[in-house]
């Protein structure tokens, strides 16, 4: 039995009680609930530690400690986003949403252009910021799709994107203003910036950033915790030389070779912020939690005892050399092997009416998708229950995938379902009743026709109505193949 199906079998048979209990008691809980949903806001222009920080984030995702939801650039350099895409692609995650600062007042042209332009070596497809949405659009789109209080932001650069996010009005993406959206969706933010208890630091004071720093500190919702990681936290934590043990095709290694001779060792300012965003204080730091940060007109900062806000700053606990070893090991992490990086293409066919293990199984699939192990191509209901498609969409929407196609049988059995009706009526979704969605046979034929041969796995947890009708189907505008021929060509198992 293939690994994915074996795991699903064991979950739905042996661990089903745990899933059902969690489903009823907490609404939705998955095996990825401990993973931090991470947005990275980076300058990626002025130093190689940004590349090192991205490597740390990917290593933590390899270890299933986080999921990188998006990376946005807070620097005016148009090539920064291309270098980020090169790094993401090298780690097998070239589909991570990107966003870029569209202004010209913050930042400077950096040294990442050789990486951004070398798509022949790194295999990425984004070169400049002209190819991606503006950062605020990416922020609002990604945040709006996440569960409440679930997102952690790591800011490793200037704060102009966050200023613009806080100033953003309600729009077609979300009816919430920027501050409302942040208060609803963001769990915490970790910021590399400032010196503590007081001083001057580059991210707060340089290249047009002081006003953004002031605006952020004064307007960030106080319900969302802020952790400042100061200059002093990462300055003595030297990393980089071990990247020489990684392939020459590693764009992170290239960044350290071309900037500040970083391959001989550079401070780990940005890596510390990523590490805190995902692992918290851990054994690495302690924190000063009483007081708040004040920002002067020139961007210099000072920690004051009053007023006491939902802010803190990190204080060194672990030795620099020990922390450098932790971060260096993460930076050297290789991409996952291809079998882990390229997800199994799944069509999920479910009765979604007779028992609550169906939503539990769908939650497991989303956990696999969060880890990059599965791509949910479509879902289909095998019973004629009006609210089943919407109840399926509730789960998809909760996990940030509201665009997954949903279809319903027009000929299958009919069952009442209390849980499906309650989900449909009580949770956000935009799917109509089953009579208004696409027929499962049409949906499956359309989706199968677009897939590579022998690439799709059906996971069927219910009646075989849809599978039977698919096999009986005739050639149509989706495919010249009959149902049997189409399944034979496209379905792996």
Q: Are residues 472 and 435 both part of a single domain?
A: yes
DSSP state of 491: B
Average pLDDT over residues 150-166: 97
Containing structural domain, residue 193: 36-337
Q: Which of 337, 364, 390 is a domain's end point?
A: 337
Q: Are residues 160 and 274 both part of a single domain?
A: yes
Name the phi and psi angles at 465, rounded to 5: -55, -50
Average pLDDT over residues 277-292: 98
Domain count, the chain: 2
Average pLDDT over residues 372-385: 85
pLDDT at 211: 94
Q: Which of 280, 315, 337 is a domain's end point?
A: 337
- For residue 177, give the H/E element and its range: none
Q: Are residues 325 and 346 both part of a single domain?
A: no
In the predicted structure, residue 370 carries a pLDDT above the cut 80: no
Average pLDDT in the chain: 88
Express as a percent the part of the chain with pLDDT over 90.
65
pLDDT digits (tens, 9 = 90+) for 186-230: 999 999 999 999 999 999 998 878 999 999 999 999 999 999 999
| Dist CA 129 CA 138 (whole Å) | 13
Q: Which of 337, 356, 377 is a domain's end point?
A: 337
Name the phi and psi angles at 349, rounded to 5: -110, 120
Residue 56's domain is classified under what CATH number?
Answer: 3.90.245.10
pLDDT at 136: 98
Q: Are residues 262 and 285 both part of a single domain?
A: yes
pLDDT digits (tens, 9 = 90+) for 340-349: 556 788 999 9
Q: Who wins on pLDDT, 277 or 435?
A: 277
pLDDT digits (tens, 9 = 90+) for 114-145: 999 999 999 999 999 999 999 999 999 999 98
pLDDT digits (tens, 9 = 90+) for 399-449: 888 889 988 888 877 766 677 778 888 888 888 887 788 899 999 999 998
Q: Give the largest CA-CA distance in the chain.
A: 74
- Which of 27-41, 97-111, 345-359 has the lowest average pLDDT? 27-41
pLDDT digits (tens, 9 = 90+) for 35-69: 899 999 999 988 999 999 999 999 999 998 999 99
Listed in sequence order, the residues at least 6 apart from 356 whose beta carbon sits closer than 8 Å to its beta carbon are: 20, 23, 24, 419
**Beta strands 98-100 and 151-156: pairing type?**
unpaired
Does residue 276 sit within a domain? yes
Contact 434, 385 (CB under 8 A): yes
Q: Who wins on pLDDT, 30 or 113?
A: 113
**Beta strands 238-239 and 266-267: pairing type?**
antiparallel
Contact 72, 140 (CB under 8 A): no
Does residue 219 sit within a domain? yes
In the predicted structure, residue 14 carries a pLDDT above the cut 70: no
Prediction pTM value = 0.70
């Amino acid at each position: 039995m293939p690994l994915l199906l074996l795991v699903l079998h064991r979950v739905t048979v042996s661990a089903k009680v745990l899933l059902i209990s969690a489903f009823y008691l907490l609404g939705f809980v998955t095996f990825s609930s401990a993973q931090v949903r991470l947005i990275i806001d980076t300058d990626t222009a002025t130093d190689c530690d940004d590349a090192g920080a991205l490597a740390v984030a990917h290593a933590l995702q390899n270890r299933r400690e986080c999921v990188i939801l998006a990376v946005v650039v807070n620097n005016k350099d148009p090539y920064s986003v291309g270098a980020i895409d090169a790094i993401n692609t090298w780690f097998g995650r070239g589909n991570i949403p990107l966003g870029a600062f569209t202004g010209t007042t913050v930042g400077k042209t950096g040294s990442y252009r050789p990486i951004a332009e070398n798509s022949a070596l790194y295999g990425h497809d984004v070169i400049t910021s002209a190819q991606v949405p503006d950062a605020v659009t990416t922020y609002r789109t990604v945040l709006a799709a996440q569960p409440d209080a679930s997102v952690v932001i790591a800011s490793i650069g200037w704060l102009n994107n966050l200023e613009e996010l806080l100033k953003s009005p309600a729009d077609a993406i979300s009816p919430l203003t920027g501050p409302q959206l942040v208060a609803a969706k963001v769990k915490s933010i970790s910021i590399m910036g400032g010196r503590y208890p007081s001083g001057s630091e580059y991210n707060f004071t340089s290249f047009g950033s002081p006003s953004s720093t002031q605006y952020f500190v004064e307007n960030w919702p106080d319900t969302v915790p802020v952790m400042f990681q100061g200059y002093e936290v990462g300055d003595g934590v030297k990393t980089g030389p071990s990247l020489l043990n990684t392939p020459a095709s590693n764009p992170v290694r290239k960044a350290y070779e071309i900037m500040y001779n970083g391959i001989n060792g550079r401070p780990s300012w940005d890596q510390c912020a990523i590490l805190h965003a995902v692992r918290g204080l851990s054994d690495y730091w302690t924190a000063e939690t009483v007081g708040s940060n004040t920002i002067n007109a020139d961007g210099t900062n000072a920690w004051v005892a009053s007023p006491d806000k939902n802010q803190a700053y990190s204080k060194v606990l672990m030795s620099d050399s020990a922390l450098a070893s932790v971060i260096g090991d993460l930076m050297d992490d290789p991409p996952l092997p291809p079998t882990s990086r390229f997800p199994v293409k799944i069509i999920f066919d479910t009765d979604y009416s007779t028992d609550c293990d169906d939503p539990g199984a769908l939650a497991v699939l989303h956990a696999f998708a969060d880890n990059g192990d599965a791509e949910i191509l479509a879902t289909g209901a095998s019973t004629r229950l009006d609210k089943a498609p919407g109840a399926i969409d509730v789960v998809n929407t909760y996990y940030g995938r509201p665009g997954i196609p949903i279809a319903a049988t027009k000929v299958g059995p009919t069952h009442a379902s209390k849980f499906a009706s309650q989900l449909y009526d009580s949770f956000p979704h935009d799917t109509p009743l089953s009579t208004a969605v696409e027929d499962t046979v049409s949906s499956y034929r359309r989706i199968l026709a677009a897939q590579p041969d022998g690439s799709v796995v059906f996971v069927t947890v219910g009646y075989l109505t849809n599978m039977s009708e698919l096999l009986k189907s005739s050639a149509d505008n989706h495919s010249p193949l009959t149902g049997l021929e189409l399944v034979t060509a496209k379905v792996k198992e």
